[in-house]
Chains A and B, each alone.
Chain A
């Protein structure tokens, strides 16, 4: 069964600090991995997408890494801001077929002043 596990479940950090969120997956065959940011009560918004051959991708203060051998990904947030407070969801696509998405349950990040 395809699964995506995210850790930690929740995280509180002070404004200006860095943090790293983890995503482990057992999805086969692997097509790509996406990180989404979801503000409370809103729809998720895509941050990055990574394919098998990519191991690092940045989007501003967000940097995602992918290790396809160990089936792990991380999302690193640099110099956190209050607006970073949200849930971050890891989504893995399994091969072909547009229904083949497995969602993690998310990490809820709270940035405090």
Chain B
């Protein structure tokens, strides 16, 4: 059963804590992405990785960090430096003939 999985589906964090969101894909895609989605706004790019052991900042990278040690995995850490972390986080990968982005089911992060 191929696709992108994200965990957990819901995550609650106290202020000042770091949390890590998981993203795994078995589509054999090289490129992976993290987006943040807020109500009434388009998806905004946090980080992306074109290949293992390499990643670049997106438009809103401050307060976030990532790693890409394996092709299948692209975890996102939301640090305490992120001032407004409550949002819906989407992971995606690109592949196929039409270069389509495939999205995971998302993680909803709430800061208490």
- Residues of A near any B CB (own CB < 8 A): 4, 9, 34, 36, 41-46, 49, 89, 91, 93, 98-99, 101-106
Q: Does B58 contact A (CB under 8 A)?
A: yes
Shortest CB distance A99–B (Å): 5
Supposing A49-B100, A98-B99 touch, asked if A42 and B106 sit within 8 A by C-beta, the answer is yes
- Min CB distance, A1 to chain B, in Å? 11
A72 CB to closest chain B CB, in angstroms? 17
- CB pair B42 A42 closer than 8 Å: no
Interface size of B as a range: 20 to 34
Complex Cα gap A43–B48 (Å): 17
Q: Check B104 for interface membership: any CB of A closer than 8 A.
A: yes
Q: Please report whether the interface of chain B is mostly helix, strand, loop or mixed according to DSSP.
A: strand
The answer to whether A34 and B100 touch across the interface, beta carbons within 8 angstroms, is yes
Which residue, of A9, A41, A93, has the highest number of chain B Cβ atoms within 10 A?
Answer: A41
Q: Is B27 in contact with chain A by the CB < 8 A criterion?
A: no
Number of A-B contacts (CB under 8 A): 51
Contact B40 A105 (CB under 8 A): yes
- B6, B50, B102, B103 pick with most chain A CB within 10 angstroms: B103
Cα-based distance from A103 to B59 in the complex (angstroms): 13
A91 → chain B, closest Cβ, in Å?
A: 8
Are B58 and A41 in contact (CB-based, < 8 A)?
A: no
B14 to chain A: closest CB distance in Å? Answer: 23
A-B contact pairs, 16 of them (CB 8 A): A9-B40, A41-B106, A43-B90, A43-B92, A43-B103, A44-B90, A46-B100, A46-B101, A49-B100, A89-B42, A89-B43, A93-B99, A98-B94, A98-B99, A103-B42, A103-B43
Q: Which residues of B contact A34 (CB under 8 A)?
A: 100-101
Query: Quick one: closest B residue to A43, CB to CB?
Result: B103
Let me know if B100 and A42 touch, CB within 8 A.
no
Q: Are B100 and A105 in contact (CB under 8 A)?
A: no
Bound complex: CA of A77 vs CA of B92, how far in Å? Answer: 26
A99 and B105 form a contact (CB under 8 A): no
Q: Is B45 an interface residue (CB 8 A)?
A: yes
Asked if A99 contacts B58 (CB within 8 A), the reply is yes
